[in-house]
Amino acid sequence: MTVGRDAGLARLFNARSIALVGATERSVWSNTAWSNCTTVGFDGVIHLVNARGGTVYGQTAATSCAAIGAPVDAALLMVPGDALEGAFDDLHAAGIANAIVLSSGFAELGAAGGERQKNLLASARARGIRLMGPNTLGFVNIGGSVSIWTSQLPPVSKGSIAVVSQSGATGSYISAYAAQQGLGLSFLAATGNEADIRIDDVISYLADDEATSCMLVFLESVRNADALAKAADRALAAGKPLIAIKIGTSEHTAKAALAHTGALVGDDRVFDAACRKHGIIRAHSIEEAVATAGLMSQTLPRPGKLTLISISGGICEISADRCDAVGAPLLDFDQDLQASLADILPDFGTPHNPLDVTGAAMLKPELFSQCVEALANSEDVGISVCLFDAPDDHQSGLLNSIIEQVADGAAKGDAPTVLMSVAPRPVSAVTRGITDAHKLPYIGAGLDQGLLAVSNAMHWVERRGQWREAPPAVRPDEKRARPVTEREALAYLDQQHVQVVPIRLAHSADEAVAFARANNGPIAMKVSSPDIAHKTEVGGVALGLEGDEAVAAAYRQMMESVTRLRPDAEVEGVLIAPMRTDGVELFVGVMRDDQWGPTIAVGLGGIWVELLKDTSIRLLPIDKEEARCMLSELRGSGILDGFRGGQAVDRDALAEAIVGIGNAALALGPDLLSLEVNPLLARPEAVEALDALVGWAGCDQAEGVAA
């Protein structure tokens, strides 16, 4: 059962009666739309509408939809843009609730076109019409044999992959390449300008479509992030992989101009974080996306690691390097599996992963069956890949014999086994027929894209198995005063149960000396001003101070330097804090993305965050487990465990602090632009925030000061 915005799409996508409005044999769009209905085997009723009437395609055309006199599920409007409002009146009179608009000249042209599109949508809604487009080629329900598609159809066959694209031409290219790979489709749609029906609506519909096992979408932009997230969650709950090619970056992300977070996070990385949270597989090319969809429409890995088998030692070496590059986890054979394989292989064979069955398999093809079976029955194997080109004719006796042996071993194994071509090659109907007859999943994308697809599938299965409900949303405290300065930000974090370094605000050299004495050790001094973000640039930082004379002198020198270089700045005084000289410095930054909402980044702190840009990113809120995952993703993660004699930090305490900073940012409400802690100092005995920076919407984004 469909719910929400997609409740009415079933009638559109499974239409039994279609009106082609503007039908004429003089239009290539009309001719193609008419022809496509025949190509897909549509057995419903097609009504032709032409304002002049007459005969079109040997059929009497009605002069209007209202004149049809019979129920119509959907109408394809092939009329100029300025005639659409009149067409909507006609649809309303005829009781037609679904329209596909071919015409362009709307939001894709800029502001003026966008206004025209708003008026178009308002006109359709006023008449109770759901609108697909404008500027769309339409859709093809291949599984249901329904076509309202105005461009030449790619040579698609029935299958279980759905292709949904905001660009009609790109959708056609994707579908054509899938056909070249011998993969069938269940559905093809171009959502165009998405004035009404968006790509997330189609995803939600397909999540309930029995003919669809996985979805491949092309996104030029995300028009409603919340709706896309919910649609992706729905696909994930249905066990249907959602593979997305996303181009470009958003121009709407709110960045703190003088803060690090905006530059470190980046719009594209925010989308990556959204993909991770909502189970979307991010692909970066048509080849990768189609290979991934092709694999996952045929089989899914089980939790575990990857094994590879080939008849070539060189290909084994190439594939091992490729697995390392794409993050596909290769299995290290245990002693029992090594012993089993050693009993199967010839004396000169070596039982390690990737597994070379050696040239002996040319004389003894059953080596494939025995090795494939042994690998697929290892409890640690999630998926096994046999790198071997499937034959494209029935006359290749030896090749067909090897395929039979691979299929025989796969049938006896518990983990799925996939046959994969060594280099990219088209998959003919004959080739697909051979592999299908043996119930052997086959990918013709070659080991480069094929192993990337395997890696995508394995990580999706792993994440789906680990998926859990998002932590409860943190409610903003609207009555809370906004922290602005570093002192206020640290005090706020302390109130939110994030441990911070003890600080005091000195208004004179004498107070600075008194506070330093109470500290009983070296201190750090920083100027406190809502107008100064980069304190070192104005002489506003002094470190490692000891003794009354040194502290007093540093205070006076700091105030003189700040007054001289920034006479316009409001200065509260000088912050006094104990020096921290050991531990690991980390950066934690929260930024609000206009599309996806609050985002948190974690990386090595201090100067390293700018130099290495080694950060892990998530959408908020997160829990401790997710924070621990973020830490493990850092390339410098080993530093936290005491690299080269350093002291290991408490990862649980560090994760708790990261969650606390994220929750503290959420509690400040939607006007918060950014909250950064740099550094967050992790030591074996404690995790402390040493510095904090706040940015507010509508303010100077250095520290939230009104511009």
Residue at a domain's end among 264, 298, 332: 298
CB 142 within 8 A of CB 207: no
Q: How far apart are CA 237 and CA 566, in angstroms?
A: 57
Asked if residue 604 is part of any domain, the answer here is: yes
457 and 534 share one domain: no
Q: How far apart are CA 634 and CA 655, in angstroms?
A: 13
Residue with tokens 């859709």: 139
| pLDDT higher at 19 or 262 | 19
User: Within 10 Å of residue 339's Cβ, how many Cβ atoms?
Assistant: 11
106 and 43 share one domain: yes
Residues in the chain: 707
Residue at a domain's end among 556, 578, 600: 578
CATH number for the domain spanning 242: value is 3.40.50.261
Asked if residue 343 is part of any domain, the answer here is: yes
Residue with tokens 């049938």: 411
55 and 190 share one domain: no
456 and 309 share one domain: yes
pLDDT value at residue 609:
67
CATH number for the domain spanning 602: value is 3.30.470.20
CATH number for the domain spanning 567: value is 3.30.1490.20
C-alpha closest to that of 279 among 470, 430, 425, 14: 470
pLDDT value at residue 612:
67
Asked if residue 479 is part of any domain, the answer here is: no
| pLDDT higher at 480 or 332 | 332
538 and 600 share one domain: no
Residue 302 has pLDDT above 70, yes or no: yes
pLDDT value at residue 638:
87
83 and 174 share one domain: no
pLDDT value at residue 3:
39
93 and 69 share one domain: yes
Which distant-in-sequence residues (6+ apart) come within 8 Å of 178 by Cβ? 156, 161, 163, 184, 185, 290, 293, 294
Name the DSSP class of 245.
E
Q: How far apart are CA 436 and CA 483, in angstroms?
A: 64
**Residues 154-179: tens digit of each pLDDT:** 888 999 999 999 999 999 999 999 99
120 and 166 share one domain: no
E strands of 152-272, at which residues? 158-165, 185-190, 214-219, 242-246
71 and 87 share one domain: yes
Question: What band does 610 get if pLDDT is binned at 50, 70 and 90?
Answer: low
Q: Strand pairing of 214-219 and 615-619?
A: unpaired
- Which residues face 600 on adjacent strands? 590, 618
114 and 3 share one domain: yes
Percent of the chain past pLDDT 70, that is, above it, reads 93
**Residues 342-383: tens digit of each pLDDT:** 999 999 999 999 999 999 999 899 999 999 999 999 999 999
Asked if residue 46 is part of any domain, the answer here is: yes
**Residues 234-269: tens digit of each pLDDT:** 999 999 999 999 986 544 433 433 344 444 445 688
User: Within 10 Å of residue 563's Cβ, how many Cβ atoms?
Assistant: 12
Our count of domains for the chain comes to 5
pLDDT value at residue 520:
83
CB 617 within 8 A of CB 273: yes
Residue 279 has pLDDT above 80, yes or no: yes
Asked if residue 127 is part of any domain, the answer here is: yes
Question: What band does 553 get if pLDDT is binned at 50, 70 and 90?
Answer: very high
Q: How far apart are CA 266 and CA 493, in angstroms?
A: 25
C-alpha closest to that of 297 among 221, 376, 212, 225: 212
284 and 314 share one domain: no
Percent of the chain past pLDDT 90, that is, above it, reads 80
Asked if residue 67 is part of any domain, the answer here is: yes
pLDDT value at residue 257:
30
Residue 221 has pLDDT above 90, yes or no: no
CA angle 473, 475, 476 (to 5 degrees): 135
Q: How far apart are CA 229 and CA 226, in angstroms?
A: 5
Q: Strand pairing of 573-578 and 504-506?
A: antiparallel
Asked if residue 398 is part of any domain, the answer here is: yes
408 and 389 share one domain: yes
Residue 632 has pLDDT above 90, yes or no: yes
| pLDDT higher at 110 or 89 | 89
Q: Which domain does 563 fall in, by range? A: 502-578
pLDDT value at residue 699:
65
pLDDT value at residue 700:
52
Question: What band does 471 get if pLDDT is binned at 50, 70 and 90?
Answer: confident
Question: What band does 6 get if pLDDT is binned at 50, 70 and 90?
Answer: low
CA 399 to chain centre: 39
pLDDT value at residue 607:
65
| pTM for the whole structure | 0.90
